[in-house]
Structure 1
Amino acid sequence: MDLIGALPRLAARRPPVLLVTMPGATRERLAVEAELTGRDWPSAPGPAAAAGLVVAGRAGGAQWLGDLWNGMPRPRAYVAVAHAGDAPHALDLLGRLLSSGREGDAPRAVSAGAPRGAPGQGGGDGPDHHPGAPGSGARETPGDEDGRSGRGGQEGRNGRGQARGQGRGQGQGRKQGRALGLGQGRGQEQGQEQEQGERGQEQERGQEQERGQERGQGQERGQGQGHGGHRGGVAGLPMAGRADDRDGLRLDRLHLPLGPALADWPAGLVLDVALQGDVLQSAEAHPWEAAPAGRYPFWGEPWLRAAGGEAVTRGAAERRRCASHLDSVGRFLAVSGWPRPAARARRLRDRLLQGAAAGELAPEVLRLTRGVARSRTLRWLTRGLGELPAGRARELGVTGPALAADGDVHARLRVWLGEIERSVHGMDDPRALTGVDGPRGRLDGPRPPSRLLLAALLPLLPGAEFACARLILASFDPDPDEFVGAGHG
């Protein structure tokens, strides 16, 4: 019996999949998530636990994507879904690659314009473009000097340890030709041992000492480059510096990039944070990557089309609003460590987008929303986190649920739940849509509502514990498509 050959085939039946969403690819993400749910394939929290890497949208030449790939154990496989309709075929291909046991196969891409089964077309920048390929934007040996590459791991769903998974992949890639913070010490130890050796080994000792000095110099150069931005460290991971904390004590401060590919995280967002222990001292957002031009943000599409003169019914807009809030609630519950209601919210979202009748879904939606709203544990966990008074929100230009909540994380969750219940009863309204109030706020302003949400939430993060900061971010849930999509200049 070929046990070794049977293991890949067994793993390919339900491979853990790491789904990475590119900015502007919400439609593709939703198609892949629905397909994964239908197949009962588990989601991987990070690359170290993944067998398959699925990229929703056009990957381009993202360096960090190559680092994710390099951080995955073999056997592994990759597909890119450039169009929502290709999700079933892409996952079929992923399963075939894994079951074949061809470890380390070059990543494959699938798109609507490519012949079925043709590798490497449409998902990247041309035929056979893939992260880790020679000549591609993502190298096999990661070297992202801005410190953002490969930070997509998540240990559990409580928000802690989010950026450690891909660091292992970086360390593996850097170990050829780069000091890993170990060179100088090893050189000194070798020198001491060699000095105690016999004279007949002087030549060998000299060679060993010379190599130790070279490693030590390499370490010093790495520290000189990294510590200026607090990016240097061991095995590609940053080292902590020192800074005063809020109590006046001088403690270790770790600078860490979060994103752009964490589980239950806005696609493409990168936050550079400073941590003392598990408390955030500062947080700075980096711009989203460019998305395909001329495409409406998926969740705001009905309102933007109506504003452009197209005929859109109120029922269609309310269906999209309800699905958008269920998507946000599912992400929030997953971050808070409540996976079963999160999965229920996402299944209901998928059925809404597939056109299920309002009367069929309404009872299930109400059971979900009222069950979440009644949870005393969830209320206790989120009480007082990320408070944004309505007056301050109005000053910042925030509209929509975050303004209506006039309060903390739980208040924003309850506004979502209330709007879900109202929207599920309005999905059959045949009247023409006239308003511009999308799921995250008004879409007719000079700045998209998600950009305003991000500006409002960043000042709320310093002083919060790591897990609490993730809950604060999830309670605003800025939509990356609005940063780069059509309809906002």
Structure 2
Amino acid sequence: MVLRRLAARRPHVLTIAPSPVSPEDLALRLAVEAELARRRWPAAPSPADTDVVLVLGSPGPRLAEVVRSVWATVPAPRLLAAVPTAGEVRSVLDDAAARLAGGGDMTSDCDVGRQHGRSADTGGAQMADLAFYDRDGLALDAVHAALGPVLPHWPAGMVVHATLAGDVVTDARAEVLDVPASVGPGSRGRSPLGPDRTRLDILTRVLGLLGADHLAARARVLRDHDPEPGELTTFGRRLARNLPLRWATRDIPLVGGPVEQRTVEERVRALARALGGSLAPPARPTPEKAAQAMIGLELGAARLALAAMDPDTTLGAGPVHAYAPPGTETEVTHHRH
């Protein structure tokens, strides 16, 4: 009982959000992140470490299937909560804390997305779902993985179908769940966040992946509030001069990015130096270009590159089927947590 009450005070939260195809979707994600930070509720790194699964907005049929798949792997006591709008974030989290203190949900049922009337084919789109194929009967020489959409600091609603040789990405294809292949030309760069908040949103993800929690928290505060004059410039200079940050990102290439930003280090420094400068929003690639830039990188570096590029998932990426080698009749599925 004591442990249950302690867990209810600071539950680990796994957030599942659709691609922000509308300003309301984006506002909801930001409101949830800000409120979780205010309450000091940590983000869950995996379903196994989750107390609360928080579903944002209205998931489409494929993302709803991902929610059900993830929920099935969360150990009890647990809680599944939906946040329809930004105005309901605090009340939903208050209710979640109370219900979790009372024991949470001990069952294994999940009704999210049942209104669609069918179980959608996820195409392997779960949390780093790994399918191993042993082609020569001697060694596991390839790993075909669907990365996302429920990973920390990962673009909402995006899945990368990747082939791994060890930890190196040798092939990658992008998919955005429940978003058409294209929402029309001219939509890129129209984020309602504005230039500086967009840069801070990208920096928050990169810094979070690097484990620079204090810097990530500062970037998030500046993103979510109205900074005082000079605060953005000061923070940007601090990041641009941060030697550990530069060393951690300097050798990670960005293929297909802006010409002047050939590495993650150069991308991060450009984002930091532009803070408070009234410059145009940063360029954001399509999901497919961002996925292609992951090829040749070790998995951790590939995730940093993806976070730094911040692909515009509102453009969609079209349907992509999970890879299956010719003649493969069975597969063994594992979960990387």
Normalising by the smaller structure, the TM-score range is 0.7 to 0.9
Is structure 2 residue 321 aligned with structure 1 residue 466? no
Return the match for 1:334 from 186, 197, 208: 208
In the alignment, what sits opposite 1:253?
Answer: 142
Structure showing greater relative contact order (alpha-carbon pairs closer than 8 Å, 6 or more residues apart):
2
Structure 1 pair 422–377 and aligned structure 2 pair: CA distance change class (3 A)? same
Q: Secondary structure at the match of 1:275?
A: strand
Question: Which residue number in structure 1 is paired with residue 258 of structure 2?
Answer: 403
Contact 1:26 1:298 in 2 (8 A): no
Q: Which is strand-richer, 1 or 2?
A: 2
Pairing 1:75–2:52 present:
no
| Cα distance in 2, alignment partners of residues 329 and 479 from structure 1 | 15
Instruction: Report the equivalent of 2:93.
Output: 91
Aligned length: 306
Choose from 65, 69, 88 the match for 1:63. Answer: 65
Contact 1:54–1:80 (8 Å) recurs in 2: yes
State the SS of the aligned residue for 1:422.
coil
CA contact (8 A) 2:175 2:316 kept: no
Note the C-alpha offset of 1:337: 2.6
TM-score by length of 2: 0.80
Give 1:431-450 correspondences, 5 Å limit. Answer: 437=280, 439-441=281-283, 450=285
Number of the residue aligned with 2:12: 16
Query: Aligned equivalents of 2:308 and 2:84: distance in 1?
Result: 29
List per-residue Cα deviations over 1:113-168 (Å, max 9, x = no partner): xxxxxxxxxxxxxxxx426x799656xxxx957322x31xxxxxxxxxxx2xxx6x
Partner of 2:321: none
**Amino acid in the other structure paired with 1:103:** D
**In the TM superposition, what is the alpha-carbon distance from 1:60 to its structure 2 partner?**
3.8
Cα distance in 2 between the residues matched to 1:77 and 1:11: 12
Q: Which amino acid counterpart does residue 11 of structure 1 have in structure 2?
A: A
The 2-side partners of 1:57 and 1:106 are apart by 22
Tell me the distance in 1 between the aligned counterparts of 2:15 and 2:144.
Answer: 26
Percent identity, please: 33
Q: In angstroms, what is the RMSD of aligned CA positions?
A: 3.1
Show structure 1 runs of 4+ deviating over 4 A. Answer: 105-108, 133-138, 296-299
Cα deviation digits, residues 287-306 of structure 1 (max 9, x gap): 34238x9xx9897255xxxx
Aligned-pair CA distance for 1:256: 0.8
Q: How far apart in 1 are the matches of 2:277 and 2:67?
A: 40
Structure 1 Cα separation of the partners of residues 260 and 95 of structure 2: 45
Gap runs ≥5 in structure 2: 318-337
| Structure 1: 5+ residue stretches without partners | 109-128, 152-162, 168-236, 244-249, 303-318, 394-401, 427-436, 442-448, 485-489
2:35 maps to which residue?
35
In the alignment, structure 1 residue 300 sits paired with structure 2 residue 300: no
Find the structure with the greater CA-based Rg.
Answer: 1
- Greater percentage in helix: 1
2:166 match:
277
SS at match of 2:106: coil
Q: Does 1:146 align with 2:123?
A: yes
Q: CA deviation at 1:242?
A: 4.6
Deviation at 1:277, TM superposition (A): 0.9
Q: Distance in 2 between matches of 1:387 and 1:479?
A: 16
Cα gap change, 1:135 to 1:28, in 2 (>3 Å): closer
- 1:144–1:297 distance in 2 versus 1, CA, 3 Å: same
Give the corresponding residue for 1:117: none
Q: CA deviation at 1:238?
A: 1.8
The amino acid of 1:320's aligned partner reads G
C-alpha contact 2:72 2:108 (8 A) present in aligned 1:
no
TM-score by length of 1: 0.56
Amino acid at match of 1:104: M
